[in-house]
Amino acid sequence: MAIPATPGLRAVLARELQHLRREPWDLALLLWFPAASLLLLLWMFSNGIASGLPIAVVDEDHSAASRELVRRMAATRGLAIAVQAPSLEAAQPAVRSGTVYGVVHIPANWERDGLRHMPQPVVLYDNAQFSLVAGIVGGDVRAAVSSMSLDSALASEARFGGGLTQAALRLGSVQADLRTLFNPSLSYEAYFAGMLLPVALHLFCVIAAVSALGREFRNRSVDAWLHAAGGSLARALLGKLAPLAAVYLLLALAVVATFAGWRGWPAAGSLGLWMVAIAVLMIVSIAIAILLVGLTINLRTALSLAGIYVATGLAFSGFSYPRAAMGETAQWWGGLLPYTHYLPVQQGQWLGAAPASAWAQGMAPLLLFIAVPLLIGLPLLGRAVRQPARWGGR
């Protein structure tokens, strides 16, 4: 649309759209780049599970039982026996070069000593520098060894009579039952993609909004911008940020639709409340951008601050390392980041079937991340647009 002659909201909007048409880079940063990144992240974790993780086996026992253990390990979902080494020394280079994630050592006389009730342990040396993989490998090897131990315990219990069935009942009479609720299969797609897509969108939205505002100061085009708005900063901001807000609200809803619809994890709580929450996160992103530009009146500095404040937010949010486990300073800083507050709201409504009251409790601090940045940022911007001497900072 052509820029209307009369200043007003439509004129600002038209000016912004015209800029995006003329500057393919800015359009790409606003739209194509985030959209492509979301698809990339989604694709990255689309397998959902980690399977076929290569390990090495050192079988010094060469017994029927040790071969059975190797067979059971190979039969697990997570493991693939990539190397059969004659000794631990021979297996080491395979670990150091990253060919395998760990070595399972079955000691000599393992079967014989087990039958004599003097069992020797099977030892897994896992590469703890790859923490998540080491956890999967450890779990699967442990499960294979446990199944062997259980079999021999059964055989030994059967001596007390009643055959294997009775023995199993007696052995299993008292159990420790470990259950995972909400995402019980621990799908890595739901985990990583589910947490990374919203935070990536949050970051992209801050960058795009900082760029849209900061550009006017960098280019010393504040006069033209305000002129199109008839001198009103409110109208100038609304017209400039409306296309951006529309794009990000749509992308945010697309993220929700992707998980709840396409990828098949319907919201256990309320789909509507989840959508409201992610929409609010986008508004928060815009408010933070207004604060960052207001504080700095410099596109580059505002972007650097976004790098420290927003891009590191994931680490402090408790998405992997729980917040309760962090030191006080890290917990405190995490509390000052919007994503930390958004995450439990999303997980509660999406996976956890949390009640609306829990949602409302989680949303209250999120709304503060709109109010406080605007209360500080808007007056700062208002002052800066009247001080041409401060424009043009690079």
Q: Which of residues 259-278 bind another protein (CB under 8 A)?
A: 268-269
Q: Does 22 bind another protein (CB under 8 A)?
A: no
Nearer to another protein, 196 or 236 (CB): 196
Chosen residue from 1, 6, 264, 329 binding another protein by CB under 8 A: 329
**Interface segment toward another protein; rule CB under 8 A; list 13-21, 221-229, 270-278, 349-357:** 349-357
Pairing of strands 79-84, 102-106: unpaired
SS3 306: helix
Binding mask 226-265 for another protein (x = CB under 8 A): ----------------------------------------
∠ at Cα 129 (127, 134), nearest 5°?
50
Rounded to 5 degrees, φ, ψ at 58 are -115, 100
Angle between helices 356-384 and 271-296 (to 10 degrees): 20
Contact stretch for another protein (CB under 8 A) within 270-278, 285-293, 295-303, 363-371: 295-303
Q: Which is nearer to another protein, 168 or 249 (CB)?
A: 168
| Gap between the Cα atoms of 264 and 171, Å rounded | 39
Give the span between the Cα atoms of 191 and 136, in whole angstroms: 15
Place of tokens 């940020």: 241
**Interface pattern 89-118 for another protein (x via CB under 8 A):** ----x-xxxx--xx--------------xx
Residues contacting another protein: total by CB under 8 A: 128
Nearer residue to another protein within complex by CB, 234 or 364 = 364
> For residue 50, what are its two tokens?
């980690």
One of 84, 109, 304, 387 touching another protein (CB under 8 A) = 304
Contacting another protein within 153-212 (CB under 8 A): 160, 169-186, 188, 190-192, 196, 199-200, 203-204, 207, 211
Q: Out of 18, 62, 86, 119, which residue is the one contacting another protein (CB under 8 A)?
A: 119
Q: For residues 35-64, which are near another protein according to CB under 8 A?
A: 37, 40-41, 43-47, 49-54
CA dihedral 203, 207, 209, 212 (to 10 degrees): -170
Query: Which of 3, 8, 70, 138 forms a contact with another protein (CB under 8 A)?
Result: 138
Q: Return the residue of 217, 248, 316, 342 that touches another protein, per CB under 8 A.
A: 316
State which residue, 1 or 159, has the beta carbon closest to another protein: 159
7 touching another protein, by CB under 8 A? no
Region of residue 251 (left: phi > 0; alpha: psi -120 to 50; beta: else):
alpha
Cα distances (angstroms) measured from residue 101 to each of 21, 48, 61, 93: 50, 19, 22, 11
Q: Which amino acid is at 321?
A: Y
**Which H or E run contains 58?**
strand 53-59
Query: Judged by CB, which is closer to another protein: 14, or 90?
Result: 90
